Structure 1
């Protein structure tokens, strides 16, 4: 990444981090793009250069994480099935839930903010589904390219991709239920890992060797 691209990426993250801080303090509905621009010390035009809507700013991290998941699957070692690679990347250490288990107060604040905002707004729930569906489609396209070269069915690649994202979706909802119920005990990461293991075991009985 060149210096220009690095500067643009820093600006993008600065805007998103500023927006998150404002939303955590005031709530999503009360924060405006103009307010985000003022707090970030950039123009409204600059904000819109990076994000089409306020919702896009809020879901920046989820969108980015989806791209990370897809790239992790593409970079899997030779012979590793797609299901195993997705499982490994999805539960890689260092994520928000791991930070929560480590007692990071900022991680707890972020987790509460995102889940409260999404739970309170059908529109935000819809945008969240758009982000997850986008990840599924990116993964499906990447798997389809490999399927073509291997002479396999592109439809199967799409089914596999959407099944894998369904596991991610289920884990997101499991965390949300815990957050909204005020139940965030130590060991949440381990509990999610066990849930994921059960879900992926179910998929592997049908998808186990796909992409190996």
Structure 2
């Protein structure tokens, strides 16, 4: 990046970091855009030039990862099935305690995720980033030769499964389990999830069909 771009990126990061600090200290709904702008020493106009909505001040961190699954599929070794590339990437992320897996017990990360999941407007807005991630992955799967319908359905399932696994991990850590203690079960859950994605519901789908509709 040139000097101008680096300066803009520093400004963007300063505004976001200031906002997140205020939100964690006081609560997302209790902090105004004006407070964030004043604390970051920028005008409201400048703030909105970088972040169109209040929610974007927080969720841009997810936006930076929304096409990650698509990148993994495109960068996989020749001959490796897309689902196996995604499985391997998730297991590696769990091993490294990547915050996006929910398996990170750093206090600041825990507080950040709790704010996102517990704030209605943030949780609702997050679904937009999830949808864009699904679109990107579906496109990568089509490029890999998948039927367009199959690509869309598989992408939707993968993105939802990854998010649900992250939520499960976060909930366990929020209840007091350490990341190290949770790791073996997180790996087991991830492996099981990708087995189901690869093989279909099979007998589990039949079992669900014999029970009351949910």
3-state SS in 2 of match to 1:160: helix
Asked whether the 8 Å contact 2:73–2:141 carries over to 1, the reply is no
The answer for the alignment partner of 2:133 in structure 1 is 135
Structure 1 CA distance for aligned equivalents of residues 97 and 120 of structure 2: 30
Q: How does 1:56-67 map to 2 (within 5 A)?
A: 56-67=56-67
- Two-structure CA RMSD over aligned residues (Å): 2.3
The answer for the alignment partner of 1:32 in structure 2 is 32
Structure 1 CA distance for aligned equivalents of residues 187 and 197 of structure 2: 15
Asked whether the 8 Å contact 2:55–2:125 carries over to 1, the reply is yes
3-state SS in 2 of match to 1:29: helix
**Structure 1 residue 95 and structure 2 residue 98: aligned?**
yes
Asked whether the 8 Å contact 1:72–1:89 carries over to 2, the reply is yes
Distance 1:8 1:89, change over 3 A: farther
Q: How does 1:1-212 map to 2 (within 5 A)?
A: 1-91=1-91, 92=93, 93=96, 95-96=98-99, 99-100=104-105, 107-119=106-118, 121-144=119-142, 146-147=143-144, 150=145, 152-180=146-174, 182-187=175-180, 188-206=182-200
Instruction: Number of aligned residue pairs: give it.
Output: 195
In the TM superposition, residue 185 of structure 1 has moved relative to its aligned partner by 2.2
| Greater Cα radius of gyration, structure 1 or 2 | 2
- Any unmatched runs of 5+ in structure 2? 201-214
Question: How does the TM-score come out when normalised to structure 2?
Answer: 0.79
Structure 2 CA distance for aligned equivalents of residues 64 and 30 of structure 1: 26
Distance 1:160 1:189, change over 3 A: same
Structure 2 CA distance for aligned equivalents of residues 69 and 42 of structure 1: 35
Distance 1:24 1:198, change over 3 A: same
Structure 2 CA distance for aligned equivalents of residues 24 and 201 of structure 1: 38
Distance 1:35 1:158, change over 3 A: same
The answer for the alignment partner of 1:209 in structure 2 is none
Structure 2 CA distance for aligned equivalents of residues 11 and 72 of structure 1: 30
Structure 1 CA distance for aligned equivalents of residues 26 and 64 of structure 2: 24
Structure 1 CA distance for aligned equivalents of residues 183 and 51 of structure 2: 31
Structure 1 CA distance for aligned equivalents of residues 16 and 72 of structure 2: 23
